[in-house]
Structure formats: structure tokens, C-alpha cells
Amino acid sequence: MARKTKRTYRKPVMNVGGDMSTSTGASGQLSGQATGQARGQAGANTGMTISPHRSTPQNDLSVSVLRQRYQAAVAKRRTWLAHWQDCYEFALPQRNGAALQTSGGKRLDRVFDATAPDAVEQLAASLMAEITPPAGGWFDLEPGGNVAGEDRAVLTEQLGRAVRILQGHFDRSNFAVEMHQAFLDLVTAGTACLRLESDDFKSPSAFRFAAVPLRDLVFEERVDGKMDAVFRTLSLTRSDILATWPDAKLPTIAKGEDEALGQKRHTVIEAVMPHGTERSGYGLCVFYADGGAMVRTPPVMTCCFAIILMCRPMLPFAG
């Protein structure tokens, strides 16, 4: 009988004022595009690498180039959709992240044994408890190695207060619910995506999370295997577009077409990708899939995509 092994995961630690340290034994990969002026990386045995970057204007991105890159990425993804759909139908039938589902449709017609769904639930719960426990304490901030000794105690106290503030926003947000759903997608299909947005100032938390289904995502892979560019497909009405981007360029209304009720939906592509070699940071561009002008090109980032990939070293943890 093979001996079960238990792997201990330590919380990510970000060094402030110095180089970002990465613990050994990383068992996965997470690459993110984040907001703000902070830059750095933090990693740990959780298998995560977080890369916040500065955001800069998107004048170097054209709609036609973005649409061509999106269509090329869709063509590469097409062969995987059938495999993902089979995985969801047998292992996570209540959420088929690879295909559209009709409300009230039957989802358990092909499931005659609950072994796979039960295993998915148990592994997702274990990953949640070990990597991002709802009780908190799964991340920390500490001074970097080049911080002077007399300033280290002061900075440590300030960073401790920042951690408590951040943890409070995580606790008051929907992070636990959406992160668990992301772990379910990760265990089922081997890939998951967690979206982070800033919430309304009236909300209890400044963060709003969403586990994005794979059917709405298209990844663009670099030569080194990293998923740097993310395309998300949205189906929105004119009112939805205005509510999300108040300064958006709305699609034209054809002659004789009545959109008073706002029922017609338009396919919108949200692209988050790194700049070229001459510029650092990531850019967010929103455009229509069927042609036309760009919806919006904001000067700063307004969202973050965290891509989580299941790698082989994570599998012994299932025991």
C-alpha cells in the first residue's frame, strides 16, 4: 500500500523594501495582473506566484490586433473544450464551466457513481483549508533585507497594521466563496481563474471576487509557458455596458431596431495583457467581438485575473 504523504504549506510572505522572497517547494503557478503602483512577487509552498505591476496607458494596442490575437487563442482552445466538458459532466456536473447551461436543465444524466464528484469536493476543501483558510492568516508582509535595523521595528509594526486591514477586507468580501469555486474548477479541469475588482465604496469590503468559468476565458501562452494574456468574453446589454463602463462607446442601433427595453446582448471582449518589451506593466482593453470601436481604454487597471494551474507536485497532497 502506498504511503500517504501530507505536505505542509506556509503562508506567502512579501518583503517590503527589498527583494521578494520565494520559498522552495512550489507546487503550482499563479500569475496575476494587479492594480496600483506596487511591483513585486511573493511565493510560497502554496504553488502561487503573484506579480503586481504598474499600469500604463494603452495607446500602443489596436482593436484589430487584439481581435486577431483573441481569435487565434480561441482556435487553439477549441480542441480542449470537449475534454473540459467531459470532466465537468462526470466530476462537477452542477457547474459545467466548459459549456453554456440552460436554467432548469438536467445535469446528472451521465453520472451513475458519486466517487468523482465526492473526490473533487474533498480535494477542493483540503486545498482551501491549507492554502487560503477562511480563518485568515494565510499571507503576511515583512521588511526586506535592505531595510536598516533602526527602521525595521517601525516598518514591521506598520506592515502588521496593513496586514490586519487587508485581512479585514478579505473577510468582509466574497473571497471564501469564490476561492472555493476556483479550487473546484482547478481540481476538475486543471485550470482556474479568479477575478478581482474594486467594489463600490458603500460596500463593506473594497474587494469583489468572481470565479470565472473556463468557457468565458481564453488564454494566450508565452514561449516559456506562462499565461500572461487573458481574454474574457462577456454578453452584455447596452445598459450593462453603461453600468460597467460609464464612458463606453455604445454600439450603433440599426434603423428600425428597438432597444428601448435593452434586451439585445452584445459580445464584449475584456483583454488583460502585458505591454511590449519597451514598457512595463499590464494593460486592460475592452472591445466588441464583432467589430467596431473599442469600448474603453482606461489609463489604469480596474481588475485583476489570477490564473491557477494544477501541476503534478500538487497531486500527493490529495492523499
Q: Is the pLDDT of residue 3 over 80?
A: no
The mean per-residue pLDDT over the stretch 238-246 comes to 84
pTM of the model: 0.73
Would you state the pLDDT for residue 201?
Answer: 81
Q: Which three cell numbers, joined as nine digits, stand for 275?
A: 505591454
CA distance 32 to 209: 13
Would you state the pLDDT for residue 292?
Answer: 64
Q: Is the pLDDT of residue 301 over 80?
A: no
The mean per-residue pLDDT over the stretch 38-49 comes to 32
The mean per-residue pLDDT over the stretch 257-272 comes to 75
Q: Is the pLDDT of residue 31 over 60?
A: no
38 vs 209, more confident = 209
The mean per-residue pLDDT over the stretch 267-275 comes to 85
Which residue's entry shows cell 473546484? 184
Would you state the pLDDT for residue 313?
Answer: 41
* Nearest C-alpha neighbor of 260 from the set 239, 243, 236, 235: 239
DSSP 89: H
Q: Which three cell numbers, joined as nine digits, stand for 204?
A: 463593506
* Nearest C-alpha neighbor of 28 from the set 210, 215, 214, 183: 183
Would you state the pLDDT for residue 246?
Answer: 81
Q: Is the pLDDT of residue 249 over 50?
A: yes
The mean per-residue pLDDT over the stretch 71-77 comes to 91
Span 97-113, pLDDT tens digits: 777 666 666 677 778 88
The mean per-residue pLDDT over the stretch 35-40 comes to 33
HEC-encoded secondary structure of the chain? CCCCCCCCCCCCEEEECCCCCECCCCCEEEEECCCCCCCCCEEECCCEEECCCCECCCCCCCHHHHHHHHHHHHHHHHHHHHHHHHHHHHHCCCCCCCCCCCCCCCCCCCCCCCHHHHHHHHHHHHHHHHHCCCCCCCCEEEECCCCCHHHHHHHHHHHHHHHHHHHHHHHHCCHHHHHHHHHHHHHHHCEEEEEEEECCCCCCCCEEEEECCHHHEEEEECCCCCEEEEEEEEEECHHHHHHHCCCCCCCCCCCCCCCCCCCCCEEEEEEEEECCCCCCCEEEEEEECCCCCEEECCCCCCEEEEEEEECHHHHHHHC
208 vs 252, more confident = 208
Assess contact for 289 and 256: CB atoms under 8 A: no
Q: What is the mean pLDDT of the chain?
A: 74
Span 122-181, pLDDT tens digits: 999 999 999 999 988 899 999 988 888 888 889 999 999 999 999 999 999 999 999 999
pLDDT above 70: percentage of residues in the chain: 66
